[in-house]
Amino acid sequence: MARRARAAAAASLIVGLALVVGLTLAGCGVRPADADSTLERIAEGGVLRVGVTENPPWTELGDQPSGTEVALIEEFASRHGAELRWREGTEEVLVDALHAGELDIVVGGLTDTTPWVDEAAVTDVYREVTSASGEIEKHVMLTRAGENGFLMDLEVFLRAEGRR
């Protein structure tokens, strides 16, 4: 009786572990789909719409936006063959536009303590820096919620290029 119980428990455990390993391996590198097909839209001559708010040295506004995050986005767009369209504004205005589907990304030296988690998708932390006051800042970007394939694509790009 007890032996059968143990055997059943062991079998369940093995099945469970096999499922975890199997599904994880199957999932490796497989990208989810976007709810609104952002990745397909920006590919090959599409337009990547990016909101930018000033926060040097990450983002600086002038005749043309510049800064480390702006440079990253330029590289990301060129890899997709996408045309870049910048929009300047305050964080709130830009996040509203992102939520409404008028923008694809918002940058501005944002960190993982951003309050916009309910309105937007927050990327994985791509870079950690120590601020002047000695605090560790974990930098992220915002994308439109629901565009999970696009989000993952940007994360993969930031992991490869954003750490420096």
Residues making contact with another protein (CB under 8 A): 5, 8-9, 11-13, 15-17, 19-24, 26-35, 37, 117-118, 120-124, 143, 145-149, 151-152, 155-156, 159
Ramachandran sector of residue 109 (left: φ over 0; alpha: ψ -120 to 50; beta: rest) = left
Stretch (H or E) spanning 16: helix 2-27
**Pairwise CA distance, residues 8 & 43, whole Å:** 51
User: The tokens of 73 are what?
Assistant: 């986005």
- The region, left, alpha or beta by phi > 0 then psi within -120 to 50, assigned to residue 111 is beta
Q: Tell me, rounded to whole angstroms, the distance of Cα 55 from its chain centroid.
A: 19
To the nearest whole angstrom, how small is the minimum distance from the Cβ of residue 6 to another protein?
A: 11
Q: How far is the CB of 79 from another protein (least distance, A)?
A: 15
Minimum CB distance to another protein, residue 119 (Å): 9
Of 11 and 56, nearer to another protein (C-beta) is 11
Residue located via tokens 């974990």: 138
Smallest distance, another protein to C-beta of residue 146, A: 3
Q: Which is nearer to another protein, 77 or 121 (CB)?
A: 121
Helix (H) or strand (E) holding 75: helix 68-80
Among residues 8, 97, 93, 103, which one has the least CA distance to residue 50? Answer: 103
Query: Quick one: 27 or 81, whose CB is closer to another protein?
Result: 27
What is the rounded distance in angstroms from the CA atom of residue 49 to the CA atom of residue 147? 14
Nearer to another protein, 65 or 144 (CB): 144
- Nearest-approach distance from CB 137 to another protein, in angstroms: 19
Nearer CB in complex with another protein: 8/47? 8
